[in-house]
Structures are given as C-alpha cells and as structure tokens.
Amino acid sequence: MATLYVDPDGSDTSPYETVAKAATSLHTAINACSTGDTIILTNRTDHTNTGSATSPATCTIQNEDGDGDYRKVAFATWTANTGIKCDQDVTIQARGITFNGASFTGAPNGVFYTDVSKTGSRLVLDSCRITGVDHSGSSTKGGVFRLVGTDNTNSLELRDCVIDDNLGMTTVGGCLARTQAWNVDISGLTWSNNGDASTNKSGHFLIEANIDNVTVDIARSSFVGNTAGGTTLNDGGALYLFSNGNQLDITLTECLFQDCDAKKGGGVWIGRDVEALVRDCQFIDCEATTYGGGGIGKGAPGVPTFDTKLDLVNCLFLRCTQTGVDATAGGGAIRVDNGRYARIFNCTFIDCTAAGGEGGDSIYVQDHNASGTASKTILRNSVFVGTGAATHIVGGGNDGFDAITEIMTPNGASDISDTGATTANNLTGDPGVIGPEYQTHYASEAFGQGRIVTGIHNVYAPAGGAWALPTPSIGIDDGGLSLQQRRRRLIRKRRAA
C-alpha cells in the first residue's frame, strides 16, 4: 500500500511518492494506483484533471490532512468529457475533496461513471462537494453520477456531501444523476440549486432498478431549490424513483424538500414497482407545474408487476401547489395514480392548493377501480389547515380512498369528495398548529376526543408535560425498524456473508 501525491507543480514522475514528484493531474494518479493505495491531493484549489481515469484497484482519495473540509481542495481545470470510472469489484473512497467544473457532451457522461454494467463496484464519498457540472449538452443520462450495474452487489454511499449548482440534460427523461441496479445509502446530503427551469435543464436524481432487491436509504438530507427541468419535461423535482418489473425498496427519513419543482411530483415522484416509506419528512413550497403532487406523487401507466406502495408517516406539507389548469390535473401536496397503494398517517397539511380540474388542494387519489384493482389508499390521523373554498381531499371517480378516518379539516365533510370511502371519527375545526415547525399544540381540539393523533414528531407539549401519544397501528413497527428496514438488514447480512 503506497501513497501517491497530486500537485499542479509536481514533476509528474512515477510512482508519484512525494509532493515534488507528484502527478500533475488527478487521473494520472488514479490510473497508477494499486490495491489499498492512498492518493493525496495537496491543499490547493487550482488542481487539474486532464483525462478520464479507471482505478485498477481499490483506493482512497483525500486532501493533505485527511479530514472532511472539502474547501481545501478544488479544481481550476477539469477537461471536458473526462471522469472517474468505477470499475468491476473496485471500491473508490473520497474524503474532503471538491470535484468541480466538469462538462459533458458525450461519453463518459459523469464525474463518476461506469462505461458498461458492472458488478461489485462501490463508490463512497465522505464530506465531498460536487459543483459546477454542466451536463446539459449530453443526450445520455448522467452528469454527477452515471452508475449502471447488472446485479445488486454495487453500492453508492454518500456521507455529509454537498451537490449543488449543477446542470443536467435538457431532453425528456433527462436527469442530473442516475443510478441503475445500484444500492444507494445516503445521509447528511445537501442537494441544492440544481437545474434551470427557464432553460429546461434538469437537476434531479434518477434512481432506477432493473433487478430485484435493490434498496435505497436516504436520511437526514435536504433537497432545496432543484428542478426537473421546466413545465413540459421531467418528473420529480429532486428525486425520481422508478422500476419496471423489478422491486425497488426506498426509505426516506428526516429529509427536507423545499422550493423544488417538476411537471409532476414537485419534490419526489415515485414510479411503478416501488415500495416506499417516507417518514418524518417536510415538503415546503414545492410545486407540480402541470399534473399534480406538489410535494410527492406516485403512479405510472400500466399495471405494476409488484404492489406499488407508499407509506407517508409523520410528514409536513406546507404551501405545496399544483399550478397547471389542465382538466386531468390535481393534488396540491400528494397525488396517487392508477390504483396504487398508499397509507397517509399522522401528517399535517397547511395552505396547500391545486388549480387543476381534478381538485384536491391537499390530496388527489385517482379512481382505483379504473385500473381494475380494489381501493387500498387510507388517510388517517392527519390535520388540514387552510380555509379556501376548494376541497382538501378528493378521490377520483368517488372511489379513490378505502378509508378516511380520524382527521381534522376546516370545513368538515365538505372538505372530502369521495363517496366510496369509509369515513369515521372526523372533526371540523382549526387543529391549532403553532411555532416555526408547525407543531400541533398538545391541548388542540384535535386531541379533545382522544381520537386524533396527528404529527407525532410535531406535537408541542409544555416543559415537563406528561402528554403521551399512542403507537401508530398501520403496520409500521414504530418501536424499531420498519418491515422494509428489517428486510434490508437481512439482505445486507446475506451480502456480507
């Protein structure tokens, strides 16, 4: 295991073992490394990358101090159409580096990429930044990442990274980053100001599965100011999660989606064959410019191979909107399409609006019987704020929901348009949300009859208060791991074995 140096003033003398003999371009050192080597970039912001690199072996890339301060290292020159290839059975780890200034009009189509489908590849970025990437001139999905695999042994891991001010494709179906058949594990990510709606440049992350047992866990991350690329292009302003005939399992926990927009799914759009748990997340000022689901939406044409499921638990939707006036548009905060399965529990909706003909200022659920399936969408233990004349909750064709129970709306029954749903124990009034985090006061009328338990993470109680909330009972294991997380743990154990 050797140490290789990169410095713009080095002599470019192999094996690059000192700063004086350092490689002058990052790609040179990567191409020369062996298993277990460490590549050190000197603490300068005028580094260069003048060619594409393929690491022949597992390696670590870091700044001089080996810490997580990505401000110490950046690039003055990144030659167009060059990137770092994640090869077969190789792990690339990077810490405390800013990767900036890349542009793509053709291959390799990503700062980090695979040229063909791989197995056993692993990319780990810790406290890194990727910024200033322009992928708008390319017709191939990618930009920041273009990672494609053939089995579930590949993984992308991001820890406390910043990915900001990048521009993705301008074509329909385009994206800024793409993984396919890669497990994704993210925490502490800041994904911000990516894409440009005025020039139809995308800024979202497309996560796909074309094999079974692919898992995606995203926690404690923020997605702010991103666009899928204008009113006529793409879905999912920050995230587009999709599979086609293979099951993809997603968990989003304690994430913020703010000021994001897309044709549908202003924050997140979930396609077919995806099972998703979205928990303790906030959707603020997100917009669906055409179809619906200003905060989050799910559905796709055709009959899913697997039950496409969405569990929304303890989430806040604040000022989410659907702005297109098309007759078949609706759902200011949430839209559920084509007989898909959703459970919405303990959520708070504040001042959400829909301009489309289908309505549903807060939620629109399409007629399930239209796709030949029984209704499986349940809304429970949630509150709605906003006194507009429009209806908060709409089930298309009067058969979108299976049950709407224990909720509180400003106008009571007139806020619900779904005659086929079971309704029970619903209240009319103002739930009394307070404070900058829109917490529900422990003395709210919503709790007065002991029936509604809304926003467990958003309940306000005075210091020393003894207010206790019952455990949710919708099939989520609230005392520990969810069923999805248990399955993922089992899968990881099997891989480790």
pLDDT band at residue 299 under the 50/70/90 scheme: confident
User: For residue 55, which of 96, 109, 94 has the smallest C-alpha distance?
Assistant: 94
| Residue of higher predicted confidence among 453 and 418 | 418
| Separation between Cα atoms, residue 363 and residue 21, nearest integer Å | 62
Q: Of the ranges 38-42, 125-129, 296-300, 471-475, which one carries the lowest mean pLDDT score?
A: 471-475
| Residue of higher predicted confidence among 475 and 388 | 388
Query: Is a pLDDT exceeding 70 seen at residue 497?
Result: no
| Separation between Cα atoms, residue 267 and residue 330, nearest integer Å | 15
User: For residue 435, which of 452, 409, 459 has the smallest C-alpha distance?
Assistant: 459
List phi, psi (to 5°) of 209.
-130, 130
Q: What is the pLDDT of residue 4?
A: 98
| Separation between Cα atoms, residue 346 and residue 351, nearest integer Å | 17
Q: Of the ranges 113-117, 323-327, 393-397, 490-494, which one carries the lowest mean pLDDT score?
A: 490-494
Q: What is the pLDDT of residue 58?
A: 94
Query: Is a pLDDT exceeding 90 seen at residue 439?
Result: no
| Separation between Cα atoms, residue 122 and residue 207, nearest integer Å | 16
pTM: 0.89
Query: Is a pLDDT exceeding 70 seen at residue 66?
Result: yes
Q: What is the pLDDT of residue 116?
A: 75
pLDDT digits (tens, 9 = 90+) for 83-98: 999 988 999 999 999 9
CB atoms within 10 A of CB 184: 21
pLDDT band at residue 435 under the 50/70/90 scheme: low
pLDDT band at residue 368 under the 50/70/90 scheme: low
User: For residue 160, which of 136, 189, 139 has the smallest C-alpha distance?
Assistant: 189
Per-residue pLDDT, averaged over 346-365, amounts to: 91
CB atoms within 10 A of CB 405: 18
Task: Find out whether 180 and 213 touch, Cβ atoms under 8 Å.
Answer: no
Q: What is the pLDDT of residue 389?
A: 58
Per-residue pLDDT, averaged over 262-284, amounts to: 90
Q: What is the pLDDT of residue 160?
A: 96
| Separation between Cα atoms, residue 497 and residue 489, nearest integer Å | 12
pLDDT band at residue 465 under the 50/70/90 scheme: very low
Q: Of the ranges 23-32, 124-133, 178-187, which one carries the lowest mean pLDDT score?
A: 178-187
- Please return the burial class of 465, using the count of CB atoms within 10 Å of its CB with bins 0-12, 13-18 and 19+: exposed
Query: Is a pLDDT exceeding 70 seen at residue 320?
Result: yes
- Token look-up 């609230």 returns 478
| Residue of higher predicted confidence among 388 and 494 | 388
pLDDT band at residue 470 under the 50/70/90 scheme: very low
List phi, psi (to 5°) of 445.
-60, -25
Q: What is the mean pLDDT of the chain?
A: 83
Question: Over pLDDT 70: what percentage of the chain?
Answer: 81
pLDDT digits (tens, 9 = 90+) for 201-249: 899 999 988 788 889 999 999 999 999 986 556 889 999 998 877 778 8
Query: Is a pLDDT exceeding 80 seen at residue 474?
Result: no
Per-residue pLDDT, averaged over 3-27, amounts to: 98
pLDDT band at residue 451 under the 50/70/90 scheme: very low
Chain CA centroid to CA 369, Å: 30
Task: Find out whether 111 and 123 touch, Cβ atoms under 8 Å.
Answer: no
pLDDT band at residue 157 under the 50/70/90 scheme: very high
SS (H, E, C) the chain: CCEEEECCCCCCCCCCCCCCCCECCHHHHHHHCCCCEEEEECCCCCEEECCCEECCCCEEEEECCCCCCHHHCCEEEECCCCCEECCCCCEEEEECCEEECCECCCCCCEEEECCCCECCCEEEEECCEEECCECCCCCCCCEEEEEEECCCCCEEEEECCEEECCECCCCCCCCCEEEECCEEEEECCEEECCCEHHHCECCCEEEEECCCCEEEEEECCEEECCECCCCCCCCCCCEEEEECCCCEEEEEECCEEECCEEEECCCEEECCCEEEEEECCEEECCEEEEEECCCEEECCCCCCCCCCEEEEECCEEECCEECCCCCCCECCCEEECCCCEEEEECCEEECCEECCCCECCCEEECCHHHHCCCCCCEEECCEEECCCCCCCEEEHHHCCCCEEECCEECCHHHHEECCCCEEECCEECCCCEECCCCEEECCCHHHCCCCCCCCHHHEECCCCCCCCCCCCCCCCCCCCCCHHHHHHHHHHHHHHC
Tokens at 381, concatenated: 């233990």
